[in-house]
Amino acid sequence: MLKRLFGCIREYKKAAILTPVFVAGEVLFDSLIPLVMSRLIDNGIEKGNLKYTVISGLLMLLLAAMGMTCGIFSGRFNAIASAGFGKNLRHDIYHKIQEFSFTNIDKFSTGGLVTRLTTDVTNIQMAFMMLIRIASRTPLTIIITLFMTFSISAKLSLIYVCVMPVLATVLLFIASKAHKIFERVFDTYDDLNNVVQENLLGIRVVKTFVREDHERKKFNKISASIFSDFTKAEKILSFNQPTMQLIVYTCMILISWFGARIIINSGATELTTGELTSMFAYSMQLLMSLMMLSMVYVMITMAQADAERIGAVLMEEPTMQNKPGAITDVRDGSIEFDHVDFSYKGDKNKLCMTDINLNIKSGEVVGIIGGTGSSKSTLVQLIPRLYDVTSGSVKVGGIDVRDYDIEQLRESVAMVLQKNELFTGSIKDNLRWGNENATDDEMVEACKLAQADGFIREMPNGYDTHIEQGGRNVSGGQKQRLCIARALLKKPKILILDDSTSAVDTKTDALIRAGFKSYIPETTKIIIAQRISSVQDADKIIVLDGGRIDGIGTHEELLKTNSIYKEVYTSQIKGGEENA
């Protein structure tokens, strides 16, 4: 997983490598300053040698300036590397999601994927930034500082050797306790995003049913859960600072005590005043580096949970991939279902569609009728291979859909889904989703066939009218007609309308279906509908019930032979459906 994450550095490897290089230079120059300072005290100040004192002082200034220069460059390259890493990480996650099949996407909630692209990436970026600069500084500081202190006094240096394992043990204990809580927190973030997203998308329903208080309670409950878990984690992590301070001041006291005794007992031959002063400086460098490392450790502890969540997305293999030598040409729009069973979880014991056998000739108009939950939408989603069958096969143009290049197969199938989606941009921008090279005349023709041209021309800017996010500034019927026009521009071999004329009146519905006959006569047209009037002129009508085919035939044949179809027809006639 870590290999996959660090693979996102890519073109920013140079900056990522130069950061610790300049950090090493910064540490080296900073570590030389106490050494020069000890010589300044012993050979300059105590002996009254003004020239030596001035030269040593200037040398210290030069070392400080060089250390500062290295620090500036390390900070610059660190910013470039971490920002680039975050950019590439977001890029890889987003592009990975685009490769997912519906089965893959079903494993991750929408809110969970949003959290991974935002909060999780930000935390990992921060951890990476601290890792290549601060975390790389600590081992270098420890090595150089211990070398310097052992060269000055091996006895005093043993103090560092004793306290460092204690510090490491405490940090590991704190991190292990906090990590489990952070894992739970970021899972709760997914739930929070889901609640917010659901509320914003359904805000009209919320206000219509005056359910604002209910939504507030849902939000507050999840928000309180995040607050509680974060508080627990931060309480545990709060032990970092006092532990570090305790060790720093303990080291200072021990160095002062034993250092003074060594100077007095040896008559300043084993340890000089200047060397003791440098030991204080080295101890501050060492322990401050360890303190910064504890901060990095806290961030890495938080980022570990984020990395695992992001790694789950990046390591997820799409359930649908092209076979070697995949077929790129879809011959025609004929469709065959051969003993198809399907389960969303791939479990043969939990099938939602059973033993589907169906033959549709190219160019036929096929209607699908069935009650809620009868698997109408599931059936048609198998055609462009949005899901793979659990058993059996689906063939388009006489070839199993699993043998096609996925992109080419879906280019040959246009779906107007039950839930229509428009995107931010002009009407033309949305129509060009069907054909990015479509001319203005082709767009107008498609909109006329979809009965959308009339209301578009009544808009202030016509086809250049701006569509807001989700198509909020057009009605449900207008949205459906724009989506149908978008599908027509594709000029597909198979056109699937999944209850996509439910928001238009029966007259407009009839005009749209009549337009299909003249504009795309060779295209296979599958119409899922609740209204009998939308499918009664179809070449064949399929009646689904409980994930099985209950009947196939024309309108007249099904009225005579199928009780479900006859019941639906009778109820709609009595309800005035045909006169609506």
Asked whether the predicted pLDDT for residue 580 surpasses 50, the reply is no
Give phi and psi for 108, each to the nearest 5: -120, 130
Residue 118 C-alpha from the chain's centroid: 7
Strand blocks (E) in 454-572: 466-467, 494-498, 524-528, 540-545, 548-553
DSSP SS3 for 321 = coil
Q: How far apart are CA 8 and CA 82, in angstroms?
A: 11
How far is Cα 64 from Cα 31, in angstroms, rounded to an integer? 10
Residue 577 is predicted with a pLDDT of: 45
The strand pair at 391-396 and 399-400 is best described as antiparallel
The pair of three-digit structure tokens given for residue 116, joined into one six-digit string: 């991974």
Of 40-44, 124-128, 417-421, minimum mean pLDDT range: 417-421
DSSP-based three-state secondary structure for 388: coil
d(CA 137, CA 131): 9
User: For 533-564, what is each residue's pLDDT tens digit?
Assistant: 888 889 999 999 989 999 999 999 999 999 99
Under DSSP, is residue 530 helix (H, G, I), strand (E, B) or coil? coil
Q: How far apart are CA 482 and CA 579, in angstroms?
A: 25
Tens-place pLDDT, residues 91-123: 999 999 888 887 788 788 777 788 888 888 998
Write the pLDDT tens digit of every residue in 483-499.
999 998 888 999 999 88
Q: Which CATH class is domain 2-314?
A: mainly alpha
Edge-to-edge strands, sheet with 548-553: 413-416, 494-498, 524-528, 365-370, 540-545, 548-553
pLDDT at 83 over 60: yes
Mean pLDDT is lowest, of 276-285, 310-319, 488-497, 536-545, for 276-285
In angstroms, the CA 370 to CA 41 distance is 94
pLDDT category, 13, cuts 50, 70, 90?
A: very high
What mean pLDDT comes out for the span 1-25?
Answer: 88
| pLDDT exceeds 90 at position 252 | no
Q: Is the dihedral of CA 98, 102, 107, 108 positive or negative?
A: positive
The domain segmentation of the chain, as residue ranges, is: 2-314
pLDDT (0 to 100) of residue 340: 94
Q: Show the DSSP H helices in 382-475 as ranges.
A: 406-411, 427-431, 440-449, 453-457
- Which pair of tokens denotes residue 151? 């060269």
Element (H, E) at 354: strand 353-360
Share of the chain above pLDDT 70, in %: 98
Contacts of 548 (CB under 8 A, 6+ apart): 353, 354, 355, 356
pLDDT digits (tens, 9 = 90+) for 320-330: 888 888 998 99
| pLDDT band, residue 575 (cuts 50/70/90) | low
Q: Give the mean pLDDT of the chain.
A: 85
pLDDT at 146 over 70: yes
Per-residue pLDDT at 373: 83
Q: Does residue 395 contact residue 332 with C-beta atoms inside 8 Å?
A: no
Give the H or E element holding residue 399: strand 399-400
Give percent of the chain above pLDDT 90: 30
Q: What's the confidence (pLDDT) of residue 544? A: 93
Give all strands of the β-sheet with 353-360 in edge-to-edge order. 353-360, 335-342, 391-396, 399-400
Token reading at 358: 């169906």
Nearest CA among 33, 46, 61 for reference residue 274: 46
- Report in angstroms the alpha-carbon separations of 79 from 74, 88, 542: 9, 14, 61
Mean pLDDT, residues 502-529 taken together: 84
pLDDT confidence of 141, banded at 50, 70, 90?
confident
Residue pair 543/568 in contact (Cβ under 8 Å)? The answer is: no
Read off the pLDDT of each residue in 501-510 and give the average, rounded to a whole number.
80
